[in-house]
Amino acid sequence: MAVPDLEVAKPGWEAGALYDTFKTNAGIVSARVDRAADNTEAALKIKEIILQTGAKKVVAAPSPLVDSLLPDDLWAAGTGPALHRKDLRRHAPDAGVGISAFDLAIVETGTLVQDATNLDCRLVSTLPPVHVALVPTDRIVPTLQDALELYGRDPDGLPPYLAFISGPSRTADIERVLTIGVHGPSELYIIFIDRPGGETV
In the predicted model, what is the mean pLDDT of the chain?
A: 83
Superfamily of chain region 15-196: NagB/RpiA/CoA transferase-like (3.40.50.10420)
What is the three-class DSSP state of 36? Answer: strand
The pLDDT assigned to 201 comes to 36
Contacts of 82-90 with C-beta under 8 Å, sequence gap 24+, read 82/56, 82/57, 82/58, 83/58, 83/59, 84/57, 84/58, 84/59, 84/60, 85/59, 85/60, 85/61, 86/62, 88/59, 88/61, 88/119, 88/120, 88/123, 88/124, 89/119, 89/123
Cβ neighbours of 154 (radius 10 Å): 10
Per-residue confidence (pLDDT) for residue 103, from 0 to 100: 94
pLDDT in tens, 98-108: 999 999 999 99
**Domain-by-domain residue ranges, the chain?**
15-196
- Whole-prediction pTM: 0.85
Q: Look at residue 199 in the predicted model and tell me its pLDDT.
A: 47
Find the mean pLDDT for residues 113-121: 94
Summarised one tens digit per residue, pLDDT across range 27-71 is: 998 899 999 999 999 999 999 999 999 999 999 999 999 988 876
Helix then strand count (H, E) for the chain reads 6, 12
Confidence of residue 82 (pLDDT cuts 50, 70, 90): confident
CA distances from 129 to 40, 80, 92 (A): 25, 18, 10
